[in-house]
Structure 1
């Protein structure tokens, strides 16, 4: 499996390499041109690998006896999906469920975690709360406000009470 995934990663990196050139000469006249293969931006590689990760194929380890002894091979768990190519990532163990507490993995789960109601990212209530929904409560916080700098050399502030909506996972 590691060999498969390493090859898929190496292939994807090679597929995204591009030729970069620089001109040398008086006022950039390009009398001499130097070119080299360059890696794409980290974001491009990351997005590409995330797509690969999201479409990884689940495999099953099969043991069978051959003349050299017991051999382990991987076969796709679900036959109705296309078999993975050398460019696809594969796995045979499911990721742990971080939504629920699990002392084995060290996960505390996401219950009672603060979430961002307006975010569509990993901190958003929809994703972070694992479909369980969220609670909203109003929270009053004392903060320094209306601060004034006095010459020389101190700042005086008033104390204000602000009300915030706090969202936490159910």
Structure 2
């Protein structure tokens, strides 16, 4: 617990307390006697206080949509790639979707353009 006192005329008028983590060095000193083989972390090691949330599984309480159905791109190497990380090592499904796009556009009179709608089939990829 840590507390702060709001002073008025040198007297504590309001004391507010909250829970917080203990001093990092105090925790380390307490842990070290428990395991004498415990060594200091190197500069390349990551340290964390709490477990990271799992982004592969849906978790409505945390607002995590999960990986199932996540759109991905098989030709990309970026964050949208259908990689082990993006699809949580589950692979991906392929579906073909037909879209319509404007084509064969011709100018009709002044500033009036008329186009046809042409079908266009594309592959879409989504994480399993």
TM-score range, shorter chain: 0.5 to 0.7
Q: CA deviation at 1:98?
A: 0.9
Alpha-carbon separation, structure 1, partners of 2:107 and 2:38? 70
Gap change, CA 1:141 and 1:100, over 3 Å in 2: same
Aligned length: 99
- Of Structure 1 and Structure 2, the greater helix share is in 1
- What TM-score do the two structures reach when normalised by structure 1? 0.49
Paired residues for 1:51-90 under 5 Å: 72-74=26-28, 83-85=41-43, 90=47
Q: CA deviation at 1:81?
A: 7.5
Alpha-carbon separation, structure 2, partners of 1:81 and 1:163? 58
Return the match for 1:109 from 63, 66, 81.
66
Gap change, CA 1:120 and 1:114, over 3 Å in 2: same
Local SS of the residue matching 1:143: strand
Runs (5+) with no aligned partner, structure 1: 1-61, 64-70
- What TM-score do the two structures reach when normalised by structure 2? 0.63
Residue 77 (structure 2) aligns with? 120
Gap change, CA 1:155 and 1:81, over 3 Å in 2: farther
Residue 132 (structure 1) aligns with? 90
Q: CA deviation at 1:104?
A: 2.5
Q: CA deviation at 1:155?
A: 1.4
What is the RMSD computed on CA atoms of the aligned residues? 3.0
Higher relative contact order (CA 8 A, sep 6+): 2
Structure with bigger gyration radius: 2
